[in-house]
Amino acid sequence: MKQRIYLDNAATTPLEPEVLDAMMPYFTTHFGNPSSIYSYGRESRMAIENARKSVAKILNAHPAEIFFTSGGTESSNAAITGAVRFLGCKHIISSVIEHHATTHTVEHLHKTGEAKLSYVNVLPNGHIDLKHLENLLAESEDKCLVTLMHANNEIGNMIDLHKVGNICKQYNAIFHSDTVQTVGHFPFDLRNTPVHFITGAGHKFHGPKGVGMLYINENVKIEPFIHGGSQERNMRAGTENLYGIVGFAKALELATKHYEADSTYIKHLKAYMMEALKKHIPEVDFNGDPLGESLYAVLSVSVPKSEMSEMLLFNLDINGICASGGSACTSGADQGSHVIRAINNNPDRVTVRFSFSKHNTTDEIDTVVEQLKKMI
């Protein structure tokens, strides 16, 4: 079988061997229910609390502010719903280019009449119009929840958390940021960042799937999104994903330890691919702001529509190349990317997202560019 080239790391990443090693005992010998009082249970409880302390230390938060969940979607749902139902936010301000975990949640709360919904303008380069955000906050008669993602999962554009957080603070708004694409990829200092909620998902930085985290600033109190037992200090019912939590913490520890080298290398891969594409495919363009405030692991490529390029993802797959047309979470849908429609609604262009990890090479990129030349 032909060796596959995996360039869809914004969708998910391969599990790091050291992470699997850390998880293995909790699949086998250390299997106790963390809620049990005997030794097996106490060992499991200790592993979870040590993981919480590790995550909190890396993010410069307090362990009591870290809650483990099933992933980014649950975390964002819990934060957004909690802000509306328990923090008095009756007006949500978001953008049309958020991940569906946010978009569908705010639409649901608006549809049920629980909150008014406004969308901040998106500039042609994919960045959020912060002046418009300030205007929306200034005009609102209700307490607001602002929910804007740190880095867009399709085009890579980033917001300045401090700048947005300070605008929110000025208008007494609650600020939630979907940081699924950036936790494990950038350093965080939550003690000194004006944000109330952030989210993370282990599988975005070489950890396991099915585990995430929600940071809830100690100055805000919400009630549980999932009801049942008293796990996660009464905030998230259900027997904990023990090995997932251990894996999440280990993956975050490794990602932080190797951040400087890995981010520099991946940034180089992105720049290398941009230059190679511009050299060999003159009609190529790039969505968003790839050389500005942008996630170093994501490159959204736009090419002219043709009989060949319309089947681009299919043809790449046939040639053993894994990429995405936009958000991996809707890769099987027919309607295409809501993000690309919002910033570049050109029916004569086709978009493909390439996203990189430390495991990719320039040789792989050369192979992909050669294949693209034949397909476009």
Q: Residue 145 has what pLDDT?
A: 98
Least confident of 123-132, 178-187, 232-241, 339-348: 339-348
Distance CA 336, CA 350 (A): 10
Specify the pLDDT at position 335.
Answer: 61
| CA-closest candidate to residue 61, choices 181, 259, 200 | 200
Active-site residue flag, 329: yes
Q: Is the pLDDT of residue 218 over 90?
A: yes
Tell me: the pLDDT tens digits for 305-344? 877 777 898 999 999 999 998 544 444 444 678 999 888 7
Dihedral angle over CA of 330, 274, 356, 147, nearest 10: -50
CA 375 vs CA 308, 349, 367: distances in Å: 6, 14, 13
Residue (of 155, 73, 75, 86) closest to 115 by Cα position: 86
**How many Å separate Cα 267 from the centre of its chain?**
18
- What lies within 8 Å, CB to CB, of 189 at 6+ separation is 59, 60
Q: Looking at the chain, how many residues does it have? A: 376
Q: 132 vs 96, 116, 118, 123, 344, CA distance in Å?
A: 14, 17, 11, 10, 20
Encode pLDDT of 6-29 as tens digits.
999 999 999 999 999 999 999 999
Q: In sequence order, which residues have a C-beta less than 8 Å from that of residue 57 and are 6 or more positions away? A: none
pLDDT value for 330: 44
Q: What is the pLDDT of residues 166-175, one digit of tens each?
A: 999 999 999 9
Per CATH, is 5-14+259-375 categorized as 3.40.50.450?
no
* Identified catalytic residue from 89, 168, 322, 329: 329
E-assigned strand segments in the chain: 5-6, 66-69, 91-94, 116-119, 144-147, 174-177, 197-201, 212-216, 285-286, 298-304, 321-322, 349-355
Which stretch of 2-6, 32-36, 362-366 has the lowest confidence by average pLDDT?
Answer: 2-6
Q: Mean pLDDT over residues 147-152, rounded?
A: 98
pLDDT above 90 covers what percent of the chain?
89
* pLDDT recorded at residue 26: 96
| Residue range 41-81, pLDDT digits in tens | 999 999 999 999 999 999 999 999 999 999 999 999 999 99
Check whether domain 17-257 has CATH 3.40.640.10, yes or no: yes
Residue boundaries of the structural domains of the chain: 5-14+259-375, 17-257
Residue pair 145/92 in contact by the 8 Å Cβ criterion: yes
**Tokens (6 digits) for 23:** 């998880």
Q: What is the pLDDT of residue 3?
A: 87
